[in-house]
Structures are given as C-alpha cells and as structure tokens.
Amino acid sequence: MADVLCPICGKSNPTELEDCQFCGARLTPLSPSTPSASQPIKAGDNPVVKKTSEFEKVKITPGDFVHPGEAPTEKSTGALESTLPAWLRTLRKGDDSAGAESTPDAIPDQSLPLSSAPDTSSESSDDQPDWLTGLGKAASDDEKEIPDWLESLREEKPGTSPQEFMSLQEPALNQTGSLSPGVGDAEWAARLGSEPKPETPETKPQGDQQGGEASLNWLDSLESDSGVPNAEGQPVAPQDEALNDWLSGLPGSSEENQPEPPREAENLPGMLNLLQEKTLEPELAPLEDDGKAADSEIPDWLSKLGSTPVTTEVPGKESLPDWLSDMETKAGPESVATESNFSSDLPTPGATGEEIPGWLSPLPADAKATENPVSEKEKFDEAPPPSAVREGTGPMPMWLAGIERSKTPKDGTPALITNDEGPGSERNHGAAFSLEMPDWLSKLNPEHASEKPSMGITEPSTPENLGISELPSWVQAMRPVESVLSDTKITPQEDAQVTEQTGPLAGLQGVLPSSPGLGTLRKPPAYNSILKVTDGQQRYTAALERLISSETQPQAAKRSRLASNRLWRWLIAFLLFLAVGLPLIMGIPVTPASTLQPPEMVSAFTIISTLPSNAPVLVVFDYDPALSGELEAAASPLMDHLLLQGPRLALISTSPTGPALAERFLHDTSASPLVAGYNYQPGQQYVNLGYLAGGPAGVQYFANSPTKAAQYTLDGQPAWTLPPLQGVRVLSDFAAVIVLTDNADSGRIWIEQAGSMVGNSPMLMVISAQAEPMILPYYDSGQIKGLVTGLAGGEAYGQTFIRPDSRPGLTERYWDSFSVGTLVMEILIVAGAIWSAIAGWRARLDKSGEKV
Amino acid sequence: MPAIQSANVVDLFTGGISFLLTLMVLSYLIGDNPAFRIAIYLFIGVSSGYVAAVTWHQVLYPRLVVPMLSGSLAERLLLIIPLVLGLLLLLKLSPRTAHLGTPPMAFLVGVGAAVAIGGAVMGTLFPQSRAAMSGLDLSGAGQYWLERLSEGIVMLVGTVTALVYFHFGAKATAGGPQRGKLVSVLSWVGQVFIAVTFGVLFAGVVVAAMTALIERVNFMITFLSSL
Amino acid sequence: MNPRRFPSLIAIVSTAIAIASGVLVLAGYFYVQNGNGQASLFMNIRLTLLDWAVILAGFAVFIGIYNLFQVHFKKIKKTQLGSLYSLLLLISLAVTFLLGLVKPSLMGFVFTTVQLPVEASLMALLAVTLTYASIRLLRRRLNLLSVIFLVTALLILLGTAPLPFLGNIPVLSDWMRPFIAQVMAVAGARGILLGVALGTLTTGLRILFGADRPYGGNK
Amino acid sequence: MSIGLELAGFGLVFLSAAMMLGLSFLRRKSRPVFRDIPAFTRLRQAVGLAVEDGSRLHLSLGRGALITPQSASALAGLALLRRLAELTSAGDQPPIATSGDATLTILSQDALQAAAKYFDQNVSDPMTGRLTGLTPFSYAAGAIAAIRDEKVSANILMGNFGVEVALMTDAVERENSFVLAGSDNLTAQAVIYASAQEPLIGEEIFAAGAYVNSGSMHSASLTVQDILRWLIIAAILVGALLTLAGVL
C-alpha cells in the first residue's frame, strides 16, 4: 500500500522514487495528493478536495487539451492516474485470486493489455482492437477528447509498442471516465458528509431502495438546476460545471444539492454497510468513516465487485463513449449521464429498475442475497440459462457475482461468470457498436468493410438481429435514432430511396431514417436521459465513420447552400430606389393615365354614386399597417367619392391595428387629403366601433347582432345611441358595407359570414393586388357587388371619378413611380433569372462532371 | 387624431421620428445592422404593448369586466366560467403551476379545431366546389357561349388537376414510391396550374410591395421637402 | 423519475374538455336553425363558447406579453448579444402598454409615429427581397415549373403596371392578364384551397379524437 | 345556410371521422406508402445534422389565432414541433419555437415540455417557446432576430403567415441555413414558393405529421384526405356536367 503506482506502466515503485524504476515515467505529480488513491483513506483527511484540485489541474476543456505536437504536461496524466479508480486499474489484472485484487500493489505485473488476457473469449479479444482503434481514430475527431489523452500518453512514453499502447489507452480513458462517477458519487457522498450521525448497521434493503429513490431526487435536482442553461445552449465548459457540482457536493456547500438529506444519510451508509458485510475487507472501514472520499472510495468498493477483467471491462468499454460525451455535455447532461452510466451498466427490468439508479439497485438484491448466502451461492452455482442473464442484466450483474466471489474466493463462480459473461459481453460490444452506428455501417459495408475490420463484428449484430427483449435496456436506450427507427422495416425501395437522395450524406444514414418518415417512436425504457449520452456516442461514431470514409462529410452537405449575394441586393435596392424616387422628385408625368375600366371597378363606382345622402355605411378596415401604403392609395378615390355623398360612417376592424388605421385614414392628410379636409368628428359624422375580436366568429357574431358584438366605440362610449348609427340595428340597415382588406382570408370571412346578413345592401371591397385571384371569383358569383384592386384599380377609379378639387390623389402621385419602378423590377427579374439559370445550369454540369 | 393634426410641431416631431425609423429599417438592405435592430426591437415593443392595451380595452373590459359589473345575473353566472378558465390560464405564468393551465388551453384548442373544421367544410369545401361546378354554366352566355365554355373547361381542368396533384397515396416500387400513371399525368398538369397561380399571387405581392416602397419614398421626400 | 408518464388527471380532464367543447361548437355549425328559423340551441352554445374563447385568447395575450418579457429579461441578465435591444424593447413595451391603459387617445399617436412607419418600411423591404428571391429562384430550382412561375409573374406585372410613355399594353392588359389571373389562377387557387380545406378537416378531427393533444400532457 | 347543406356538411365530417378512426386502427402495423415529398427528406437530413452537430432547429408556427380557421396549419406545425422535439432529444439543444400568437406560444411551450418530460429531461425554459410579436410584421421581425442570433441550423416555417414570411425566408438565406416553409395562406405560399429552399405547397403542410411518423392517425388522415379528394373531384365533375346539361 505504501508503494506508488507508475501512471504509465502501472507497476509499483517505492514512494521515495521520483520516476518509475521500470518505465522512467514521472511518478509524483506536482500535486501532493497523489498517493491518496492507493493509500487507505484515514478518517479526517479529505481526499475529495485533493481530487478536485487534481481534476481542476486536468480540466479537459478543449482549450486545455494537449494537442498533437504539443508537449503534454506530465502533471495532468500523473494526477489523473492518482484519481484513476482502483477498480479500473484492476481491469488490467488477468483472472487473479479475488482476495488480492483490491490491494493496488498487487496490480502492477498483470497490467498488460486486456486483449492479451488469456481467458477473454475470442470475440472480445478480437473486438478489443476495434474499439481501441476506434479510439485511435477518434483522435482526428473535431472535438478531441480521447485523442489528446492518447497523444499525451504516447508522447510521454515514445517507444510504446502498439500492444502496450492499447493497454495504455485504458487508464487514460478510464481516467476521463472516472470524472463522471466522480460527480455522482461526490453528491452522494456529500450527504454522508453532511450527516453527522453514524450509519445504522441494521439498515434494511428497503432502506436502500428508499435511498435509491431519494438519490433519484437529487439527480433530479441536479437536472433541474442545470436544465435551463442546457436548454438555452449557453456554452459552458462542461468540466467546470461538473466540478462545480462535484465541489458543491462537499460538506461545506452540500445543502443545496440535497433535497432531503436525513433520509439519504441513513440509507446510504446502510448500503455501505451491506457492502461491508459482503466484503470482509479491512479497507472498507475507512471507506465508511469518511464517505466524503467518494471518488477514491467508490472505485474501491467497485474493485471489490469487479473481479475478472471480462466482468468490468465490459462496462468500461460500453460506457466509454458516454464518458466522452460527459466530458463535453453540460452540467445537466453531466449529472444525467453520471446516473445513466451507472444505470446503463445495470439494466434492471421492471418497476424497481426504473425507480432505483443502476448503481444502487444491485445492492438491495445483494443485501437480500447476503441474508442467506448459501442460497445465493447456489443461485450462482447452478449456472442460470444465458438467456436469463442476457435479457435480465447487462455486464454489471457481474458486480453481484463479484461480490459473491469476493466474499468467498474459493467459490466456483469465476468459471461460471466467464461462461455466460463471455458471450454476454461480446454480445454487448456487438450491440453497443451496431446500435450506435447501425444502418450506415451496413450501408457502408460494401464499400468499406474491407477498410475496417470492426465492420465484421458490428455487421452481424444489427438491431434487426437482436430481439428487443434480448437487448439490455441501456443498450436500447443508447439508440435514440434506433428507437426512432425501430419499427420501420427497411424495404428495398426505401433503402434505395434514401441512398439515392443522400449522396454525400451516406454516412448519416445511421442518424437518418432509411424510410419515408422517421419511424414510429417506441417509448424508450425508463432511463432515457441516456439519450443525452448517446449524443456523445453519435459524435464518436461520426468520428469513426469520417475516418472510415473520408469522402462522406455531412458538414460539406450542410454548407452546400446558396450563398446569398450581397451585391445583387445592393444593385436591386439602388436601382429600385432610383426608379421610384426620381419620378416623385421630378414630378414630370411620364406615364399616361390608366385606360383600363375593369367591370368590377365600374360597378363599385356606380354603387357609390347611387348611395343616398346621409346613409349609414359600414367601412371595415381589415389591413395591416404594412400595406397601408397600397390600401390607402387604392381606397382614397373611392373614399373621396363616398364622402361626397355625405354618409354616416361606422368603422370597424378585425385586426387590433385596424381602428388606428381607420382614424389615420380619416384624419391624416398623407392618406387622403380630401377626406382629411372634411375633418370628420368622432361621434358626429362617424363612429369607430374599434376592434372586433375572434376572427370569423367575431364577424359572424357582429353580422348576426351588431349591437351586441360591438357595443362601445373606440373611446368607450355606447356606440349605437350615437347619431351616426341612428336607426341601425342589424347589418342590413347599413346602406352599404365596404371592406378594405389586404388579406384574401379576411375578405372571404366577411363575404361568407356577413354576406348572407347584408340583405339587399351591396358589399364592396377594396383589396390589395395580392388578394385579387381569391376575391375576384366572389364578384363573378355576385356575392360582392364591386371591387377595387390595388393601386391600378385605384388609379382606374380615380380616372372615372373626378375630384371636386383638382388636387391629384395618391394614385396619381404614385403612378409614374409605379410604372417606372415596376418596369425596372421586370428588367431586373428577367436579367437576373437568365443569369442565375445559366449559373445553376453550369453548377449542375460541374456536379455531374464530378460524379462521372 | 386631433393630437396629431393640431400642432405643426407635433407633426414635425412625429414625422421626424417616422422618417428616422424608416431610414433605420431600410438600412437592412445594406445588411443587418444596429440601426435596424433598434428600429425592430422598438417596433416589437410598441406593437406588443399596443395590442395588449387594445386587448384590454376592446376585449377583456367590454366582454368580461363590464358584464360582470353591470350585467344581468344570468350573464354574470355565464361569465364565471371564462373568468375561472382565464385565471387558470394565468397559472401558466409560473412553471410550477403551469400544468393547471392546461384545461383552458384544451378548451381553446377544442374550439379552434371545431372552428377550423366548420370553416373548412362550410366556408371552403362547399362554396368552392359549388363554384367549380358552376364553371360550365352557360345560361345567359348568349353568343359568348364558346368563350364561356372554354373558360369553364380550363377552370374545371385546373381545379381538378391541382386537387389531384396533392394526392399522397403511392405504390412502393424499386425506384421509390410511385404514383399511378394517370395520377402522375394529371398532377403534372395540376402543377402547371399551381405554378401559374403562384405566379399571379407573387406578382400581386410584388406590386403591393412596390406600392409600399413608393409610399415610403414619397413619405421621405415629402417630409424632407416640408423641412 | 417521471410522474407524468401516466396521463395525470388534469391531462384526462383537459382532453375531455377539448373534445367536448369541440363537438359542441361543431354541432353549432351543422344545426344552425330550428324549424321556426330561430337560432338553434347549438348555435347559441357555439356563439357562447366562441365568446368565452375570445375572452380566453385575451388572457392569453397577457401571458404572451409575459413570455416576451421573460425572454428579453433573460437576455439582459445574461448580457447576451443585443441585450441593449432587449432593454429597449421592454421599455417601449411597458411605456406603450401603460400609455394605452391610462390615455388610450395617445395610442394612435404612438401607432402612427412608430408602428406604421416601421411596418410600411418592412413591407417596402419586400420589394427588394422578392425581386432578389425571384432572381435566385432559377438558381435554387431550375425546372420548368419555376420558369412557368416566373413567366406568369412577369406577364401579370406587365399587365398590371403601365409602361412609361406607352401606358398599358393592349392585348396583355385587357385580355391576357384577365385570363391568367381570373381563369387559370382562380382554377389553381381553387384546387389548392380545396386541398387545404381537406387537410384542415383531418387536422381538426385529430384534435377532436384526442389523437393530437398540443395542449400538453403526453402524446 | 340551407338545411341540406348543413346535413351534407355533417355527413362529410362524420364520414371522414369514421374513416379516420377505422383506418388508424386497421393500419396499426403496416404504414401506407406515400409519395415522396423532397422537402421532408431534406427535413430528415436537417434533423440528423442538428442532432449531429449540436445545433438547433427553429420552428415558427405563424400568427394564426387559435380560434380562427387558420389555426389548423399551426396545429399541424405543433404536431411537427412535438415530434421534432422528440427526435432531437438526443442532441444538445431542444428546438426553439417562435410564434406570432400568444395561444400558439403557450401551446409550443407545452409541446416542448411534454416532449422533454417524455424523455425525463427538464426543459422549462421560456426561451424555447417564444412569442416574437403580436402583429404579423412584428412577429416576423422577432423571428428574424431568432433566426440570426440563435445557433440555428434548420428553420421550419409552418403555420399561417402573410407576405411577411418573405422577410423570414430572406433572413434564413442571409444566414445560409436550411429552411422548410409551408402555409395555408395562398399568398404566403406563393412567396414561399419563390423564396424558400424547400417549399411545402398547400395541403402538404398537413402531411408533415405522417411524413415524420407521428402516429397511425396521421397517416390515416392522409389516406382519408385522398379518399375525400376523389369524392370531391367526382362531385365537381358530375355537378359540372349536370350544370352544362342545365339540370342544376
């Protein structure tokens, strides 16, 4: 225990040595806290703090990465080595006697590559290179987590043989991984710290379950705390967040992270207690004393559990990408992922599995088990049918096995374990990979199988091969896209369809469904927070995939958008302003007045001119302020004409801005000088009934009973007693209804809802040019009696109706600009269209040229 | 508004602000810039505040407050329901109580869906199909019957084919989902009609926008000349 | 972990409310009048429910305003880019609203001074934007339909706006444009409108079945 | 409205309701094949890319008030939003939804949170479902800000718009990101047809749910639309012939 582990070769050296006597790597990182990992934690001292300091030193924010070429800081890796969970280090052991494994100084000599472990099943031994090489490939991934670790390790020990190199990656990766357990456990341990009273040894399994639920709550609280920044997508340095949580878990600031400390505090120690019962090891005594030492202690009791490399290497491998994702997801995902790492390692089907975080749930089970160890032993001895293990539990159940074994080393379980774990683990690798990168692999396979051996493995175990029941829940959960894709059967044509459409995106077909539609979403199992983790998985696969086929670059596809062309905009803007402005400034008429006499306009004119004087007329202002320019220009001749008849006006609108527009029209000289000249007084010559809410319903309500629907004027007086509305009770009492609208929909609403109620009174419309095709048919069908369309219609009306004052109306003033501006616009469109057609045609040719 | 037309100073003031805002917005043509942003955010704030005020004055006050204060007993009783629903809806303001605001939203959605259905069937499906049927109505066409007939036929073909174009069903074939021969041909014709329709509408929008541009330029010129 | 996995009571009640109110209002569309020509019971129910809905929508506006406040307040707190703009927005919002409550007559003044010019200018921007869009169209999708689209638009423009010195183009303005705009376009529009109505119908029905429940709760 | 018409309307609604229910139960297992709509293929790719590079989806629901017939397009958009939120739950960031009507804003927040709950995530964030303005153009202007300022890789504009949608599509083009747009408003469709990268024409926006597999009811409703379509076509043709013959 007094020895120091070499961070590189893992062999033990005397503490006084500065450098490893075997590999020469630096042993003592520049921080004092290094030995704490290997030394038993004394009561009182607080390794957690030291660890945090270590973590902060080796913060893995992209900035801090040792990038290829840079000299790596020994400190970082050395420091992390000290934080490396002991149980992970025990991975390197072959199948050794369970008793010694937890003592670090036993580790060194067996610390050679897993792949070379004699007892690992052939599958696992030959997909070992895959995931490791996968990591190696990930080195060129954009977001570099592993790569840099690999870099730093590589450069620290230049002459590393590939074989050792693989084994070296593991500590490195596990270090990164150990961050996320660190978080969860720290929180968890924080409650221990905050709870003065010692744990009650006779805590029952139920207690553990409560603890499980309780700890869920604090996971929740973590999630909810960090949910907001996550949703906002505020870029936060993930590790910082992680560490903050982590630190906040320390006794000092533990309150905020603990929804209900007391419950937890009594439950969790109980759990530890059970651990103690199971593992009659001295090391665990200190472990309970200061449970604060979460990070170092968790690994320790895990090291009790994980006995054979095959056992623990499996979670190690599976959750590897999760950890990587943890390194970069924010606090919320971080905590979620922490939980999910554990839960993912232990798929517990059924309700309890949903209630208890994975890393807690085995313990009740064990506790029950330990109450009658014999039966438990039997259970393990009579090798359960593989299927049971397969569907029930993932890799982690080996914890149980490990516990059993560590309790009774002579037990025959190891063989049993390897028997059904070997295939189990191999299946899980297969599952993990095939599920992360399912379709695009099988798609890519024809071209790329030769390039990557890993295809060989991932291929057979595509989700199709695996029945859902066979998949551990965490594996299912690791496949958001899969769970999306789940039920879509990939019929040949769908397959072809996708490949044909996504040329450069071929690589994305694991992310994208390979059938019309994205597949029916199967409701994922309880811990769907794992989906967050799978984001990391996808980046991981994406990295791998990019390396597999360098020509498939989704980014490229994304960027293949039209670049908007500023110059064109400026040219258009300049020319249009010129064309519109000059005629207005010069004021020399260049365009002959409109000679058109559209029948709908003429009939509108005749209706207005036949209106009796002092007749009540309803004018509906249903246009946006945006189109006030056009509508005012179009309507002003008609309104001038109307006002010559001296009607009583009622104004209403179904848009909140309508009333203000109505007021403006009546009073603002810029709309219609003539109308403004009348200086209409509210309540005397006109009534502004204001805003009619409710869209068609409101219109219908108003059409059916105007007096109820619009009782008050804009300024709050009861409307229907005012002189302008004398004798008006129903809609048909109005001599005419004139609708000014820019929107075909609101025009149709008035026609359909109010048309039947106006009786013999005519309904006229002044519409924006854009609404013509939809509104005009109603003129043909006789539902509206007259129509003025846009500026041109207004101009035509203006030509028919000669103003008393010879002042030119708006339309006359706009007319020249209108004709010149439109002409310029037409020329621009023609020229530009031809230009871009040629350009597009060229681009198409180039593309086809590249393809050939 | 009297306030506006009364004093020239006021006119100048409002005109100046309007002119400035117009310039700021039009500066978007050069590219997104702070001036544009300022105008936009000011505009969003003002318009939202305006709509909120109008909603109070024109909807809540006359439809809820006044009847509650001075309505008949029946009216008041009837208005208790929307009042309660509205208060529940206000619980949406706090995330903690938000789920209590679900019933009123459900009510709105239900009513909205019904209005949509009713409007679609009674407001569009029947009137439009009836109008499409009457396309071949030659009564009163007189000697223009041929013209009317041809127009009617074109209309009928256009309507039907455009409708066919949207047909979703297809057969799974090796080359992806394929629609039947007849449907494909008809839908191509329909596409032409749709393109023409959009062309016409687009031209209408362009004309409207052009008019708006003219109005703005005219406004700026008149303001400058009034200085 | 997730208490809402099973539809809560509120979710069930809400669904019931949605379906009930929907069916009642719909009934008002199809059973408008009694034999005696009076508005039927369903018609009255429909109008009442719609009145309530309008009031509720009024409440909703204020929730929306609150949301607007929240969003921009957050931006200010985070001093995100444009937090100054957000500040401006909040101030103008508050001022306009209070002004509107206290002195409604001044609202029109604010409206014509700020809102109308900005909106009109935004519309004016469209003149450039749309021209640019129609230029880019063939770059985006080079096919016959795009060409037809552009040609139609050009013909309509030519038919609508007179040429300088020439005025309206004879055949184009008084024969071709009306034919395109009032026969072909109307035909196409009718087809589209019918299709949209069908889509609206089924979408509404999904709500009434409770198959789509946008008002929250689990799907 | 004549009694006959009301009866016919009721019959139509009842018929389509019955067909939808029947089909959705029959079609539980086998999904019908629908014609390929390129826009949705692109949408699928965009979603994948968003999940892949941790960028955001932006869905704009338009400004159609909930209690108007225009609400339907927004309701279709909401179904899509819910679905997209589920699909992107693997990504770092939930989609943001902008709308021009307060009720739609509330609904979009509900949809996003329902999806988040579904995945045990906790997204109660006003920023994800926003009201950007209460009048058409202020809504569009606010949406422009969202399009430009958020890290949005794909924009889906689905709902009731007017001409102002051109401002949004233009902003997207300036941002060089993906836009899929559709509306129930004809004018907006015309603008979208010209200015959007992937336009959805007319009825197609209501098919979004079925094309992203929101459930058997969605695909059933497409089939029902097809059936009704042909019924209407037949009715129109027969009616037209009868009018020609002078019977009607």
Give residues with Cβ within 8 angstroms of A278, minimum separation 6.
A304, A366, A370, A403, A404, A406, A407
pLDDT, position A15 = 60
Residue B138 is predicted with a pLDDT of 78
Confidence category of residue A508, pLDDT binned at 50, 70, 90: very low
CA A702, CA A619: separation in Å to the nearest integer?
13
Q: Do D167 and C64 touch (CB under 8 A)?
A: no
pLDDT of amino acid C125: 93
Using CA atoms of D238, D239, D240, D242 in order, give the dihedral in degrees to the nearest 10: 90
CB atoms A517 and D212 under 8 Å: yes
Supply the Cα-derived Rg of chain D in whole angstroms. Answer: 19
Residue A748 has a pLDDT of: 87
User: Under DSSP, is residue A363 helix (H, G, I), strand (E, B) or coil?
Assistant: helix
Rg over alpha carbons for chain B, rounded to the nearest Å, is: 28
Name the residue among A414, A229, A397, A259 with its Cα closest to residue A329: A229
Confidence check on the interface: ipTM exceeds 0.85, yes or no: yes
- Partners of residue A774 in chain D, C-beta under 8 Å: 186
Q: Whole-angstrom Cα distance, residue D108 to residue B96?
A: 17
More confident residue, A244 or D61: D61
CB pair distance less than 8 Å for B200 and C153: yes
Any idea which of A198-207, A499-508, B47-56, C129-138 has the lowest mean pLDDT? A198-207
Window 128-147 of B: residues touching C by CB (8 A cutoff) are 128-129, 131-132
Kindly determine whether residue B199 and residue C156, on different chains, have CB atoms separated by under 8 Å.
yes
Say yes or no to pLDDT of A422 above 60. no
Average pLDDT over residues A833-844: 88
Is A584 in contact with B214 (Cβ distance < 8 A)?
yes
CA distance C89 to C100: 16
Touching C: which chains, 3+ CB pairs < 8 A?
A: A, B, D
The reported pLDDT for the residue numbered C39 is: 73
Which residue does chain B place closest to A584, by CA atoms? B218
* pLDDT surpasses 60 at A447: no
* pLDDT bucket at A616, cuts 50 / 70 / 90: very high
User: Tell me, what's the pLDDT at A553?
Assistant: 46
Share of chain B above pLDDT 70, in %: 96
A538: helix, strand or coil = helix
Distance in Å from the first CA to the final CA of chain D = 18
Residue (of C4, D120, C1) closest to A216 by Cα position: C1
Q: How far is D147 from chain A (nearest CA, A)?
A: 14
Q: Which of D70, D87, D131 should be substituted to probe chain C, the one whose Cβ sees the most C Cβ atoms within 10 Å?
A: D131
C 129-148 residues inside an 8 A Cβ radius of D: 129-130, 132-134, 136-137, 140
Is any Cβ of chain A less than 8 angstroms from the Cβ of D68?
yes
Shortest distance, CA A812 to any CA of chain C (angstroms): 13
**Best-predicted range by mean pLDDT (A181-190, A490-499, A802-811, D227-236):** D227-236
More confident residue, D100 or A808: D100
Across the interface, whether the CB atoms of B108 and C156 are under 8 A apart is answered no
A345 vs A527: which has the higher pLDDT:
A527
Q: Is the distance from CB of C11 to CB of C216 less than 8 angstroms?
A: yes
Measure the CA–CA gap between D17 and A409, rounded to whole angstroms.
68
Contact yes or no for D70 and A524 at CB 8 A:
no
A624 and D137: CB-CB below 8 Å? Answer: yes
Q: Which two tokens stand for residue A272?
A: 């530890």
Residues 233 through 292 of chain A touching chain D, CB cutoff 8 Å = 233
C 70-89 residues with CB below 8 A of B?
82, 85-86, 88-89
Q: What is the pLDDT of residues A76-122, one digit of tens each?
A: 344 444 444 444 444 444 444 443 343 344 333 433 333 333 343 33
pLDDT, residue A20, reads 59
- The encoded tokens of residue B214 equal 């003219």
Instruction: Using CA coordinates, name the residue in chain A closest to B131.
Output: A781
Mean pLDDT of chain C: 86
Q: Which of A228, A572, A574, A715 to mutate to test the interface with C (most CBs of C within 10 A)?
A: A572
Burial classification of residue A409, based on how many CB atoms lie within 10 Å of its CB (0-12 exposed, 13-18 middle, 19 or more buried):
middle
| pLDDT tier for residue C181 given thresholds of 50, 70 and 90 | confident
* Contact state of A773 with C182 under an 8 Å Cβ cutoff: yes
Within 188-227 of B, beta carbons closer than 8 Å to C belong to: 190-210, 212-213, 215-217, 219
Share of chain A above pLDDT 90, in %: 9
Residue with the bigger pLDDT between B122 and A225: it is: B122
What's the pLDDT score for residue A146? 39
A626 with C136: Cβ contact below 8 A? no
Residue contact A701–C51, C-beta within 8 A: yes
For tokens 């209005």, the residue is B115
Cβ within 8 Å, pair A626-C150? no
Whether B198 and chain D come into contact, CB under 8 Å, resolves to yes
The reply to whether residue A493 touches residue B205, judged by beta carbons under 8 angstroms, is no
The verdict on a CB contact (< 8 Å) between C100 and B50 is yes
Q: Can you tell me whether residue A650 is helix, strand or coil? A: strand
Of A270-274, A666-670, A812-816, D223-227, which has the strongest mean pLDDT?
Answer: D223-227
Question: pLDDT tens-digit profile of A653-663?
Answer: 998 889 889 98
In this prediction, residues A346-352 reach a mean pLDDT of 34
Are C50 and A626 a contacting pair at CB < 8 A?
Answer: no
Residue A376: what pLDDT?
A: 40
Q: Read off φ and ψ for residue D99, nearest 5 degrees.
A: -155, 160
Distance CA B135, CA A702 (A): 32
CA C109 to chain CA centroid, nearest Å: 26
Per-residue pLDDT, B7: 59
Residue of chain D whose alpha carbon sits nearest to that of A328: D92
User: pLDDT: is C189 or A214 the higher one?
Assistant: C189
pLDDT tens column, D3-31: 788 889 999 999 999 999 998 888 766 77
* Chain segment B146-182, per-residue pLDDT in tens: 888 888 899 999 999 999 999 998 888 877 788 888 8
Asked if B57 has any chain A CB less than 8 Å from its own CB, the reply is yes
Find, among D194, A752, D76, the residue nearest to B197 by Cα: D194
Positions of chain D with pLDDT lower than 70, given as ranges: 1, 28-29, 120-124, 126, 248
Confidence tier at A572 by pLDDT (50, 70, 90)? very high
Count how many pairs of residues, chain C against chain D, have C-beta atoms within 8 Å.
209
- pTM (2 d.p.): 0.67
Q: By mean pLDDT, which of A30-39, A595-604, A736-745 is the weakest? A: A30-39
Residues facing residue D59 across a β-bridge: D97, D156
Question: Which chain D residues are closer than 8 Å to B129 by Cβ?
Answer: 232, 235-236, 239
User: What confidence tier does A851 reach under pLDDT thresholds 50, 70, 90?
Assistant: low
pLDDT at B20 over 90: yes
Three-state secondary structure call for residue D132: coil
> What subunits make at least 3 CB pairs under 8 angstroms with A?
B, C, D
Q: Check residue D123 and give its pLDDT.
A: 55
Query: Average pLDDT of chain B?
Result: 88
Residue A465 per-residue DSSP state? T
Residues C188, B196: C-beta atoms closer than 8 Å: yes
Q: Which two tokens stand for residue D31?
A: 């999904």
pLDDT at A383: 39
Q: Chain B residues with CB inside 8 Å of D148's CB?
A: 32
- Please indicate whether, in this complex, the C-beta atoms of D229 and B98 are within 8 angstroms of each other: no
Find residue A682's DSSP bridge partners. Answer: A686
Mean pLDDT of chain A: 57
Instruction: Please report the residues numbered 160 through 179 in chain D whose beta carbons come closer than 8 angstroms to any beta carbon of chain A.
Output: 162-164, 173-174, 176-178
Could you tell me if B225 and A836 are in contact, meaning their C-beta atoms sit under 8 angstroms apart? Answer: no
